[in-house]
Amino acid sequence: MKLAVQENRVPGKTLTEQVALAEDMGFEGMEFWGADIPERIPEITNAFRGRKIRPSTICSGHQGALICADPKERQAAREGILQRLKIAGDLGMVGLIVVPGFQRHKSIPDLSPFKTDRELEMDVLVAQLQQMAPEAETTGAIILLEPLNRYESHFLNRQMDAVEICKRVASPSVQVLCDFFHMNIEEYNTPQTLRQVGTYCKHVHLADNTRQEPGSGSIDFKAGFAALKEIGFAGYMAYECGFCDYPNHEPRLRRSVKYLQGCM
């Protein structure tokens, strides 16, 4: 297992400075927001040249939503996802994090007794992922479905919901991201859930129950990491959290890294 960190969680005036500092702290990967990633490929390539730390993942950033009622929004999402997935593959990243829809996206209407809105959303999502899968498989990167808690999304809240989608799509290009913060809200037992997700888990997000840095709250990361080891997870675990003293948080970040290294 390898610790990673989202770019904007690391102090520094330039990406080169941030990458150097992250490596010095003990991080092995860095995650990037995907909105402007197409324009940043040379910058990212140069910043990591000669470094042990690697670019790990792209976090969303595409337009539209895969389960939006508007077909134009769904098309924009598919195109944006495939574009960023190719970039991820070209940069040697694991993949692109995809949230099918947030609370703000208009859901597909309930057509009971034919199908409920959730059943339709599942079907529409699976159909689009199956459509994208052949091209996605050529990129060398994977789509990482991220379940969110009920306050951020009406859809895909539980980890096993994401596993169900992966099984229906039946492509190695569609896998699961497990987020400790969201699991702490939605799952009865995070370590047991990780064991159930098993090898579908290809990436992890880290934040404590406070949604600040690991070690600031009550989540049992040692038990969670033990479960990840049991399922053979060897990928990146990226900090996606806030800091109460941001932007003067470097000491807290260093302490948190040492804490997680001890949990590992």
Q: How far apart are the first and last CA of the chain?
A: 8
Q: Assess whether 152 carries a catalytic annotation.
A: no
| φ, ψ dihedrals at 55, nearest 5° | -65, 125
3-class state of residue 223 by DSSP: helix
Total H helices, total E strands in the chain:
9, 8
- C-alpha to C-alpha distance for 47 and 6, rounded to whole angstroms: 15
List 7, 31, 73, 146, catalytic entry: 146
Tokens (6 digits) for 132 = 């994208």
Q: Assess whether 121 carries a catalytic annotation.
A: no
Tokens (6 digits) for 208 = 């404590």
- C-alpha to C-alpha distance for 60 and 187, rounded to whole angstroms: 23
Return the percent helix, strand and coil in the chain, to nearest 5: 45, 15, 40
How many C-beta atoms lie closer than 10 Å to residue 140's C-beta? 16
Q: Are 206 and 239 in contact (CB under 8 A)?
A: yes
Q: Are 74 and 64 in contact (CB under 8 A)?
A: yes
Residue from 98, 169, 96 nearest 127 by CA: 169
Catalytic positions, please? 146, 240
